[in-house]
Amino acid sequence: MISGRGSNLQALVKAAQNEAWQARFVAVISNQPDAKGLDFARQNGIPAIVVNHRDFASREAFDEALAKTIDSFSPDLIALAGFMRVLTDPFIDRYQGRMINIHPSLLPHFPGLHTHERALEAGVKKHGASVHFVTRVVDEGPIICQGEVPVLPNDDADTLAARVLKMEHRIYPLAVKWFINGRLHQEGSQVQISPPESQYIVQA
């Protein structure tokens, strides 16, 4: 599920092609009709669907339509990749344990928006990205893996965002691959990966 550019979507599709994943992308769904990632999906033969939140009177109604669309494809995994809508509790509960998200910070630091600006303001020396299971609190679910990057002295939000994005493109495919291979499970507030993995934290 996307809302924009879709560079993480591209990273996933490319990893699937290069590594011959035993899985296929059944659909790309966007709440924004003009999301660039939809073009990429179409060019790669993946059904590109718009469920425009503006067409619905409430968050609940939007989420219900979204769930209907998703369920029509019977996916095993839902990957949020820059999907910029807050989801309702019933929606999240419905997909518990099979919906994951990528967030551009080392959670639990900097949940929410403008993570790179906030990292610079806080003066942290290390920043990065996290893949996590989606739970009711935004950006708070059990962390699957993280990728670290340094914050360099002359960084601005753009240079830092670019470094983090490159790392996002490394760690999101890792997490999805673990799931596809049946190795990744959410157990309440914890993540189980079996057999254990040496790459929970990826360094630049």
Query: Which residues carry out catalysis?
Result: 103
The closest residue (CB) to ligand GRF is: 82
SS3 121: helix
H-assigned helices in the chain = 7-18, 36-43, 59-71, 89-94, 115-122, 157-180
Asked, as a colleague might, if the bond just before 108 is cis with ω within 30 of 0, I would say: yes
Which of 1-9, 42-50, 92-100, 174-182 is the region at the interface with ligand GRF (rule: CB under 6 A)?
A: 1-9
Given the complex with ligand GRF, which of 7 and 135 has the nearer CB atom? 7
With contacts defined by CB under 6 A, how many residues of the chain interact with ligand GRF? 15
168 binds ligand GRF (CB under 6 A): yes
7: contact with ligand GRF by CB under 6 A: yes
Please pick, from the candidates 28, 79, 103, 133, the single residue that binds ligand GRF as defined by CB under 6 A.
103
Q: Is 102 in the site for ligand GRF (CB under 6 A)?
A: yes
Q: Are 120 and 107 in contact (CB under 8 A)?
A: no
Q: How far is the CB of 178 from ligand GRF (least distance, A)?
A: 18
CB nearer ligand GRF, residue 64 or residue 150: 150
Q: Name the minimum Å distance from CB 90 to ligand GRF.
A: 22
β-strand pairing of 48-50 with 201-203: unpaired
According to DSSP, the β-strands at 126-133 and 143-150 are: antiparallel
Burial class (CB in 10 A: 0-12, 13-18, 19+), 20: exposed
Q: Which residues bind ligand GRF (CB under 6 A)?
A: 2, 4-8, 37, 81-82, 102-104, 129, 165, 168
